[in-house]
Copies of this chain bind each other. A is one copy, B any other.
Amino acid sequence: MLAEIITIGDEILIGQIVDTNSAWMAVRLNEIGIEVKQITTVADRAADILMALNLASGRADVILVTGGLGPTKDDVTKHTLATYFGQGLRRDPEVLRHVEAIFKRRGREVLDVNKQQADVLEKAEVLFNSLGTAPGMWISHQNRHYVVMPGVPFEMKHLMEERVLPRLTFFKGRTPLDHHTLLTAGLGESFLAERIRDIEIHLPSQIHLAYLPKPGVVRLRLTGIGPNHEVLEQKLKYYAQQLEEACGPYFMAHGDVSLAEVILAEFKKRGLKLAAAESCTGGYLANLLTAIPGSSEVFQGSAVTYSNLSKTALLGVDPGVLETYDAVSEEVVIEMSKGAAQVFAADYAIAVSGVAGPGSDVTGLPAGHIWMAISGPDKTHTRLFQLGKDRRVNIQTAAAFALFELIALIREKAK
């Protein structure tokens, strides 16, 4: 069973946005054994969309179309689809009520252009979009299935997860595929490859290993292909176990989870509370943790202290220590972490202070010179990271490394 993805939008063709939707969709389709044959990006122009639909229908069984469903004049997808399928549009009452409710909640008048968001293809099945005003549509036509979704990433993902993928899993003719992901942290891709080389070399031909690196973490994804789901699952489990052992302390978790989720689960299990004090990560660490629903059970908060004055006012850092050692120093992160544990009444507190970059700081310390401390019930653990010049990457890597150190510490203590 083959799929094609058609992405509609001038903004992609002029390079204003990078098409991240297609990769996300491809991953999810592959997971359920549907191969993506081609990804095509065309402009918000009827002739181009018609040609792309026509060609895709000659190559694939399922055609996923995203973008161009907004209420503004430059979005032409819906009328073009009406032309393509030779159908008119009808106003869907349920979608209309939903659109009106959204506007009412925001205290805004519903304009005619908003009501048009409820117009769908006559014979389409509506894929109800609870997160936005543009509904998705499912059209079956001449033995092909066309799935039309808005291009806004969170709306597309919502529709894929809630409405499209569950339905596609019932289709026959999918390639029997299975995946297993492991989360590792604290070690770069090439060092990790060195650690697991023997396993990688001896993987059977039906199992493939991929490295998916992000700042501070590397995901390992095993993909297996084979007719017998149970045999496949057993094999994947076997190799996942081998990889876990080979990764040693850098193994964090099985499954497609984030470091923040691992931390929160470990703390919850132990009934512990966590807090943070951030200088160079500037709230990024807190944001990673608070992005997870239910994090408030564990995470008490973070003092993002960007000035020396606030390090003293919020965390009680001794002004003399700041004067003597400067803000980016082991002495200061120790005081920050102890202060955060106290003021947030937490069992553990992470503190990070460093030079995010791209330039050096006023004292001449280079970009990427970042101190971290973790204050726990018994002792305070510190580490110096020496990273690169890219501000965004440094912030993300420092946060991931700090979470990695915390997990290692907690697990060490549990032994």
Residues of A within 8 A of B (CB): 10-20, 22-28, 30, 35-44, 48, 52, 55, 70-74, 102, 105-108, 111, 113-114, 130-131, 133, 152, 154, 158, 179, 181, 188-191, 193-194, 200, 208-213, 221, 223, 256, 275-276, 278, 281-287, 289-291, 293, 295-296, 299-307, 309-310, 313-314, 343-345, 356-359, 386, 388-393, 395
Contact = CB atoms under 8 A, between A and B. Distances in A.
A285 B284 CA distance: 9
A40 B43 contact: no
10 shortest interchain CB distances as A-B pairs: A282-B290, A283-B286, A15-B26, A283-B283, A15-B27, A39-B41, A302-B304, A15-B23, A283-B287, A301-B306
B290 A300 contact: no
B36 A13 contact: yes
A306 to B, nearest CB: 4
Contacts of A26: 12-15
A283 B300 contact: no
A131 B14 CA distance: 27
Identical copies of this chain, number: 2
Given A14-B27, A189-B72, A283-B290, A303 B301 contact: yes
Main secondary structure of the interface of A (DSSP, over half): mixed
A395 B40 contact: no
Nearest to A366: B105
A394 B133 CA distance: 16
B388 A131 contact: yes
Nearest to A71: B190
A390 B13 contact: no
Given A11-B212, A111-B190, A190-B114, A283 B296 contact: no
A347 to B, nearest CB: 13
Nearest to A190: B71
Contact of A390 (B48, B131, B223, B358): B131
Contacts of A309: 300, 344-345
Nearest to A192: B72
B154 A390 contact: yes
Contact of A17 (B15, B23, B106, B393): B23
Given A11-B210, A13-B36, A301 B307 contact: yes
Nearest to A55: B55
B14 A19 contact: no
A181 to B, nearest CB: 8
Contacts of A113: 190, 193-194
A364 to B, nearest CB: 16
